[in-house]
A and B are shown apart, each in its own frame.
Chain A
């Protein structure tokens, strides 16, 4: 990692959910142009990390800091973090009955534009943009006309997340177990969407339990999270080792108890 200011720096972060401390001192820096993967057994705190960065209510930071573009964002509201370029692809995307996908996406994109001093997108331009991104993730045009995620299959919901990623074009993408529940084809499409998004000014954090998605999206760094702490970091080779040796191996070498 370079010495200049990173896009996002997580400093000794301790965080709890429902009075239970899940993150027990996370130190992590991600810079523009980098792809980081966080892997770990269930309950290790991977999703918690992604949610805390996005500012989800119910997740309490006990100590430490998250510095984004040079300023702490701990006190910043979720929508402001979003407009500053932080995007969370939800592990369980929520259904919004009655809220039209089209209307929702336009509101989101306009909010970000407004923040950046731009004017709202004209309807025709938005339509074009949406159509382009829809095709990118090969989503059924019907689904875009429906209420957000209502009646979508698991795979369709995940694709919808990546469509939003492509549309909103953030700086930091947090992908929370985006691969879970996807079959090979869906995984390929979703990964393709992420790879198109990838670039020198983009940072990506992939949270995953399995190595599979990393076959499609190559990480620059892999970190293993066990029981709320990063116990090991390495390059993409680490993911392969984990695949072969399992999480127990990490336990042995890191001196920590691993429950798969």
Chain B
């Protein structure tokens, strides 16, 4: 690291080292720990971002600082030790292939065992572990083929840092338009320091020819903790996006504070599916990932539609509310979720459906499964604003408890300010019925398999909303996650 001198910003020294206005070496691959304005500038400079984006980051940072030390929200039903925000490295360059494991032999055997159980093919296993992929292997050419297909259709799908360079107008127009930096504590943090993420734009009238997966982006295995994703579906278009996978991703960082913004214009549809199986911590609940994510979709145009489908089985703490703002008349919002928590995991998750336009419709189906000593809370908000004539909402949240040391909680907020709206909410909590278990056992199916079949049946309504490959993986993931919870 080069010498550091404190230079006053007003003197505007034009030294290559200091012209971005911070104190340390631009060539460095890793920022020093801590969060201050310099770090924000450093990140922006590393990515060679245009001024408008740096300005935006700085505004977010200023807002974060203004909130004060104790501003992090504490209302959710999740308990965790306070995060020391100064003890985090906010920038680390993507690993070169030199650092990657050379073969699967160098990969954590526990991860490999999990891959096997989930039936993930060898090639995929390599990619997911970040193993340097041989150019001859099929997986590379597969990735290339898909990229060609997208190009032909006119769909833009690339890392957000690339989009900022190549399509700055698009990014500038929509970034922060659904989740402004002032929205909530973790979104503010993300806006200041986000490093990477997906950007997708689907032109008018185009039906994106393939399921988009983060899988195909280069460097996915090393994705940072402050991801920022922006997906725009222009008029009349359709896109289905898959995030995550069933492989237990051992994120290097404990805090994952991503932001996902979706914008659907007139007659457009976005389907966003998530399979989350991050490291939940060991049997004593130590060391797992904290998944604090802000996800929101703006169904801006008339007849637009946004669906969120999620299967959350990992993370020590899951804290997220994928939401839809139903601005356009006749717009539709959907939320389908299975949240499974075991051992010491905690989940406080749900959705917000905000009905603004006329004839809007929202459907919420949430299933929670609690086992071990885990706590699972569904928290959902349905707001029907005064202008939302004929709004319709249907909510069904069901909880299943396995064992008597876990908890399942349901906290709905229902705000209705329009008399023509119709809103219905139902929730049930129960355990796997002994009679059901016995019925299956009497047909020769062992206890663990019987338990799995019943719970899989419980989640059926959600799994069928997932794209086909994901649905198969989700069932398998459920099976693996339920191991050891009965008998």
Touching chains A and B, CB distance < 8 Å: yes
B443 contact from A95, A98, A164, Cβ within 8 A: A164
| Bound-state Cα–Cα, A257 to B389, Å | 69
Kindly count the residue-residue contacts between A and B in the assembled complex, taking CB atoms under 8 Å apart.
82
The verdict on A79 contacting B444 (CB below 8 Å), with A58-B434, A94-B436 known, is: yes
- Whether B443 and A96, one on each chain, are in contact in the complex, defined by CB atoms closer than 8 angstroms, is no
CA of A83 to CA of B433 in the docked complex: distance in angstroms?
22
* Chain B at the A interface: SS class: helix
Contact A168 B444 (CB under 8 A): yes
Known: A97-B457, A98-B458. A79 touches B442 (CB 8 A): yes
A242 within 8 A of B: no
Is there a chain A Cβ closer than 8 Å to B282's Cβ? no
Q: Taking A108-B445, A164-B443 as contacts, is the C-beta distance between A78 and B457 under 8 angstroms?
A: no
Tell me if B454 is interfacial: C-beta within 8 Å of chain A. Answer: yes
Is B444 touching A96 in the complex (CB atoms < 8 A)? no
Q: Which residues of A contact B123 (CB under 8 A)?
A: none
Contact A103 B445 (CB under 8 A): no
In the assembled complex, which residues on chain B have CB atoms less than 8 Å from the CB atom of A108?
440, 443-445
**Given A94-B433, A96-B436, A104-B440: A147 and B457 within 8 A (CB)?**
yes
Q: Which residues of A contact B434 (CB under 8 A)?
A: 57-58
Are B439 and A107 in touch, CB under 8 angstroms? no
- What's the least CB distance linking A260 to chain B, in Å? 28
How many residues in A have their beta carbons less than 8 Å from beta carbons of B? Answer: 31
Q: How many residues of B contact A (CB 8 A)?
A: 24
Is the CB of B449 closer than 8 A to any CB of chain A?
yes
Closest to A147 in B: B457
- Chain B residue nearest to A81 (CB atoms) is B442
Query: Do the beta carbons of B453 and A87 come within 8 Å of each other?
Result: no
Give Cα distance in the complex from A57 to B435, angstroms: 9
Asked if A83 and B444 sit within 8 Å, CB to CB, the answer is yes
Check A56 against B449 for contact (C-beta < 8 Å): no
Report yes or no: A77 in contact with B447, Cβ–Cβ below 8 A. Answer: yes
Given A96-B436, A99-B454, does the pair A78, B442 have CB atoms closer than 8 Å?
yes
Residues of A whose CB lies within 8 Å of any CB of B are: 54-58, 77-79, 81-83, 87-88, 90, 93-99, 103-104, 107-108, 111-112, 115, 147, 164, 168
Lowest 6 A-B CB distances belong to which pairs? A98-B457, A98-B460, A99-B457, A108-B443, A111-B444, A82-B444
A-B contact pairs, 7 of them (CB 8 A): A57-B434, A77-B446, A82-B442, A97-B457, A98-B457, A103-B453, A147-B457
